[in-house]
Structure 1
């Protein structure tokens, strides 16, 4: 609080005046009016100094009443002039190594450096008669005055541990002059009780405390067992269990037994290096997906209280929940539907997706499903909740939104807060009033909207606005063929095209498809050209109205065309709608035209090659049901069998013949 200005003017530190006697406003006013003479302004570590001699009488009296005569205190100020920085001491203590191989703690370093610098000052004063006179007023009872001054040094400036006793201080000084810096380090420093344990005793203690089968419940039990074995093992008995505690809680020892006693995952959480990471700065840079319990109770068809699962896809940048699916369990269908919804909402592929390798995700991975969605596809480290940002989002979503509803199941079972628990007493009392699963789905969709439309914790806008306002140049827009590639399922077996079109069964249900032209009429030409051809099929399991046909080539699948659900018509006229008759006639006409065109094309080829029937003196048959013979058929005699020139007549006779023996059957031909 006191200090000499220019080595001869006694001053009081302004900070102490304001803290102990004057208010800040009063101090400023007195300085301004000249009632307090400020010789040094504060700043850059220097205190503001007020000359003591020029102070008003009432202020001087208050100072004396609090701290005594400042002229006596000034001796302490003069003493500090002799305390200088000892770089050699600072180097010695900062680099000192204990027998255990460890360095000194910072607190002890500061203590020993202060001790050495103060003792250096004492030595300078004691070696100079002038200094003794100036600081101590002479050599009579010099050590009494030194001990008093040393003990009144401010600890925040000089954190020393020098003794207050005059004789002990003098002995300390003499030892320091003789042995130097090493004399200041406590001889028992770093020698904990655990070091009294013999090496074989340490192994026994470590193994006993780590035993996962015959567990040691408490330190007291360990202490008792140790001492009961000590005599037999030749160990020194311990006086206190603190010896064992000190040994086991040493960080170099604790990490060895922690996993055996509390579980390896807990040890991993406590001791494994954790990365500090920066979150993405744009949308669709990173998506997380995970399945969890949907934290609502509902009432099933039988009136029983149930819960279900939800699988969510989450954009890390904006915290927007993009896609989800509710089901009984975390399976392929749930993940497929959630990602499909997320892609449809985003309109872009994500750069990277992360997921855990649990549940149906293994199926996803085997089908390269997630790999088709993004540029990077990585599973999060197992048993590492910190690696999944989505888990923290789930926690906040549950806590801020789902908890609003009375049938909330509570959060994670490990949650300890009462607020995180379900009110089971109330829920069970009202079990008959629980919502249905459909009502739960509607409510969950509403709560998700609330989450997406609420303010982002690190922004002044909503999560959804944050997502929509962001762009990611590294992600491409999703086209229809991207959706097919990502979400359409490929049937493992090819399907053969027939006159009925493309037909196959899936889970007991038969699906029929046809290739149609731009007028929504069956593409008769395409059908005739692809009968008996095998096609690979891709389809959207959520919309079976359209399929894509592919043919296998040496280079892989090649897209051929798309097929739509085949149009069905009524066979009986009674149930036919007006459009059906017209539809049937159009197709019949197209079939006839196609038959004629095919016959004419082939006849032209045969004629060109000299192989038409007429080239052999024979006739080409007409297309039955379409064309009629231009020549009149000659009538046979009534008793003569009618000549069979019509294939239809021939087929009719054959079907009406009742065979009596093999001979008669062949006589017809």
Structure 2
């Protein structure tokens, strides 16, 4: 810029005459150039008019290249180069035998320099300039501080904008509920909370508090969110941890939203709910004295708990039920508070907004959405159906309209496998489906199996009647099954009687035609009794006559 100005002055006849001619003009120009303020015009042009004129002539002849210093890109003056640079970088990046600081790196380098024939480095600052060079830092940062920290510092960050209306995007995430409570054993504990939030308004729509973040917590939070909104969201985003795999396998998430996506793993900035929940902790949960503080990465002293005071008042800590009530109240305060960008109450933003692409939820939609498909099918046995869920065991039976076990269905279904759908919040009923080539086919519903007391002393009035009805029905089914098969055998001339032998009676149901005569040999009950009383080392003839006092038999 300065040399171009010199050219304008010296080549313009009128201007050059004002400066006193060409020779006089260069002297005045050199004087003006030397008086230019350094902070505005950072140059190294000579102040002597002859040298300045010479520099100008070189510039006019060679162009901009004449202004570049001769040592530019010349590495001969570098103190660290070649293998020495690589060694220093490798030593600083060593994750096992870590280099504590630059002073250690300086000392170890000079020892290595003696072995390798490198130049000794006098100042520690040389290593600082090399290690913290903008082009070198990305190489070692991940090895020294972790790849996620390097990703956070050097990775590309998208600029995004929030949805323009409600129910366009819901975020969900689980975290620690930042309250201490006292359990029944007098221990100080914390629990987890799973929240579902509308991205547009930051309204907390649904939540669930539990000891761990599992699929049931997520299920309950989404169910509450749907009930609160009255609409299905267009898209939901979740962290793909906890029990989301189970929800996806049961088609739960696809029933709720048109699009279901997992947030980018290990990328806190993609989780808008984390930012909102952090503000919720700082502005609302922090008001209660039993606040646990924010997560362990929080650096501010204000974000930490006053453990001295909490431990001094350990006996006064609230119960789990108490903190659930406090948390519910704080959520209402958050939803009613002004949004940090619009200034309007969050709940008003949500309720006043309309989404043209979302569908209102009807009663039958709730049933369809919130019944989860169990991953593994269940096999029916003589006891009905049983399975474990969340470490709890459940037993079911198919009952008729009059409340009796459907023994005909049970007889035909033993050994079959059924796909089960259930509501995790109401395990009193399950739905059974057959897995066919065309998809799941509904078979029937089963309810919790009725439990009766084994001893008469503990039986309630209805139990004795129920037991008798079921016992009579069992006998009826046994007779029916036997008679059905006997008819088939008779039709083909294959009954025992048609072949000259006797048909055995149904034990416990039918009696011998000869009446109540004493019988020892041949009775199956006596035979099995003899087996149960035998020791393995006894030599007993099981065909010998067993004396039985029929009067002592229990019929």
Q: Above 0.5 in TM-score?
A: yes
Q: How far apart are the structure 2 equivalents of 1:234 and 1:420?
A: 53
CA gap of 1:346–1:215, structure 2 versus 1, over 3 A, is: same
The residue that corresponds to 2:165 in the other structure is 282
Residue in structure 2 matched with residue 335 of structure 1 by the alignment: 218
Task: Please state whether the residue corresponding to 2:179 is helix, strand or coil.
Answer: strand
* Whole-Å separation in 1 of the counterparts to 2:253 and 2:289: 37
In the other structure, the counterpart of 2:371 is 487
Structure 2 equivalent of residue 107 of structure 1 = none
Deviations 1:309-350 (Å, cap 9, x if unpaired)?
112222222212222221222223222222222233233333
With over 3 angstroms needed to count, the CA separation of the structure-2 counterparts of 1:178 and 1:660, relative to structure 1, is closer
Aligned to 2:209: 326
Cα gap change, 1:345 to 1:168, in 2 (>3 Å): same
- Structure 2 CA distance for partners of 1:200 and 1:509, relative to 1, 3 Å: closer
After the TM superposition, which residues 251-290 of structure 1 pair with which residues of structure 2 at under 5 Å, given as runs? 251-290=134-173
Determine the C-alpha separation between the residues in 1 that align with 2:412 and 2:371.
Answer: 26
Question: CA shift at 1:174, angstroms?
Answer: 4.5
Alignment correspondent of 2:179:
296
Q: Which runs of 5+ in 2 are unaligned?
A: 485-490, 492-508, 524-555
Q: Which residue of 2 aligns with 1:424?
A: 307
What is the correspondence of 1:394-405 to structure 2 with a 5 Å cutoff? 394-405=277-288
In structure 2, C-alpha distance between the alignment counterparts of 1:485 and 1:496, rounded to whole Å:
29
Aligned to 1:118: 5
**Structure 1 residues 278 and 661: alpha-carbon distance in aligned structure 2, compared to 1, 3 A threshold:** closer
- TM-aligned CA distance change 1:658 to 1:356, over 3 Å: same
Q: Structure 2 length as normaliser, TM-score?
A: 0.72
Equivalent residue number for residue 659 of structure 1: 519
- 2:262 corresponds in structure 1 to 379
Using the alignment, how far apart are the partners of 2:136 and 2:344 within structure 1?
50
Tell me the equivalent position of 2:544: none
**Aligned in 2, Cα 1:539/1:228: closer, same or farther, shift over 3 Å?**
closer
**Secondary structure of 1:119's match?**
helix
Q: CA RMSD in A?
A: 4.3
User: Which residue of structure 1 lines up, in the alignment, with residue 399 of structure 2?
Assistant: 514
| Local SS of the residue matching 1:251 | coil
Confirm or deny: 8 A CA contact 1:515 1:563 kept in the other structure: no
CA distance in 2, matches of 1:337, 1:445: 15
CA distance in 2, matches of 1:209, 1:315: 45
* Structure 2 residue 359 is matched with structure 1 residue 476: yes
Cα distance in 2 for partners of 1:391, 1:497 equals: 50
Q: Tell me if the contact between 2:233 and 2:258 (Cα under 8 Å) persists in the aligned partners.
A: yes
**Residue among 195, 204, 218 paired with 2:101:** 218
Q: Give unmatched runs, 5+ long, in structure 1.
A: 1-113, 603-610, 612-648, 664-669
What SS does the aligned partner of 1:514 have? coil
Distance in 2 between the 1:407 and 1:546 partners? 40
SS of 2:195's equivalent? strand
Give the equivalent residue in structure 1 for 2:532: none
Bigger RCO of structures 1 and 2 (CA < 8 A, at least 6 apart): 2
How far apart are residue 223 of structure 1 and its match?
3.1
1:355 aligns with 2:242: no
Compared CA separation, residues 568 and 203, structure 1 to 2 (3 A): closer
For residues 661 and 214 of structure 1, the distance between their equivalents in structure 2, rounded to whole angstroms, comes to 86
Number of the residue aligned with 1:641? none
- Tell me the SS of whatever aligns to 2:237: strand
Q: CA deviation at 1:546?
A: 4.0
| Pairs aligned (count) | 479
Match of 1:49 in 2: none
1:71-470 aligned at under 5 Å gives the runs 114-125=1-12, 128=13, 130-133=14-17, 135-137=18-20, 141-151=24-34, 161-166=44-49, 168-177=51-60, 179-189=62-72, 195-470=78-353
The whole-number CA distance in structure 2 between the counterparts of 1:660 and 1:209 is 94
**Is the CA contact (8 Å cut-off) linking 1:355 and 1:378 kept in structure 2?**
yes
SS class of match (1:295):
strand
- Rounded to whole Å, the distance in 1 between the matches of 2:519 and 2:205 is 74
In structure 2, distance between residues paired with 1:443 and 1:477: 31
Matches of 2:244 and 2:265, distance apart in 1: 13
Match of 1:532, SS state, is helix
CA distance in 1, matches of 2:200, 2:242: 26
Matches of 2:118 and 2:436, distance apart in 1: 81
Q: CA offset at residue 423 of structure 1?
A: 1.1
